Amino acid sequence: LSREVVLAAAAAQAQECGLDSVSSRTLAARLGVTPMALYRHVRDMDEIVAALVDDLLVTVGLPDPALDWRDWLERAAWSLRDLFAEYPEALGLFSRQPVTTGAARARVEAAVGVLGQSGFTGGDAIRAYAVVHTYTIGFCSLEAGRRRAPAPSESNKAPEDLGRSIRDFVTEEQFRFGLCALVAGLEPETANH
């Protein structure tokens, strides 16, 4: 039993039964040990989930650095959305702790490189990437809620039209719309206000 074995078991578990099924008890059962045996090799469950999400960030990859900075940001956002579309439960990690693992930092570094070539300072590039990242996290959170519960908890009859609109506006087209508006509002000059 080692950290590597625990993480491998966690990855297998996530792929088979979803990220939410990764718990101290399922992992222990899978490895044939007590839940407590894990705590000698990892600090807590969120450390395991963070390592898993980091691997997923690596696999979704990053856009071609030769792209125009606006295109690059948009494609980076779509790749992030791909991850959360497959593992919506990963979103919870970002609300529980800052995610500053290797692949997360690599994304920001890549943004600094690409935007730097278009006149963004390092800080401005991080700010710009952060906005896109933030928007994507928000969209995927709302999208996750809609996937899990297509019908609203409160069943309103008459003003169903607006309620329906609110639900139906979390679409791929709306993600694209918001992303374009966002990137349109960013400028190398705007950034250093």
Partner DNA sequence: ACCTGAACACCGTTCAAGT
- Point out which residues bind a second copy (CB under 8 A): 43-44, 46-47, 50, 88, 91-101, 104-105, 108-109, 123, 126-128, 130-131, 133-139, 141-142, 144-146, 148-149, 152-154, 156, 159, 162-163, 165-167, 169-170, 174, 177-178, 180-186, 190-191, 193
**What number of residues does the chain have?**
193
- The reply on whether position 97 binds DNA by CB under 7 A is no
Residues 12-31 that bind DNA (CB under 7 A): 21-26
Residue identified by tokens 């990137």 is: 183
Our CB check for DNA shows the closer of 16 and 161 to be 16
Our CB check for DNA shows the closer of 40 and 164 to be 40
Inter-residue contact 20 to 31 (CB < 8 Å): no
Distance, CA of 33 to CA of 166 (rounded, Å)? 47
Q: Which does 174 bind (CB under 5 to 8 A by kind): a second copy, DNA, none?
A: a second copy
Q: Which does 91 bind (CB under 5 to 8 A by kind): a second copy, DNA, none?
A: a second copy
- The reply on whether position 100 binds DNA by CB under 7 A is no
Q: Which among 105, 181, 102 is positioned nearest to 139, based on CA atoms? A: 181
Distance, CA of 183 to CA of 181 (rounded, Å)? 6
Q: How many CA atoms lie within 13 A of 163 on its CB side?
A: 11
Distance, CA of 185 to CA of 42 (rounded, Å)? 42
Q: What is the dihedral of CA 12, 18, 23, 25, to 10 degrees?
A: -70
Distance, CA of 123 to CA of 138 (rounded, Å)? 22
Minimum CB separation from DNA for residue 11, in Å?
Answer: 15
Minimum CB separation from a second copy for residue 132, in Å?
Answer: 9
- The reply on whether position 35 binds DNA by CB under 7 A is yes
Residues of this chain that bind DNA (CB under 7 A): 1, 21-26, 33-37, 39-41, 44-46
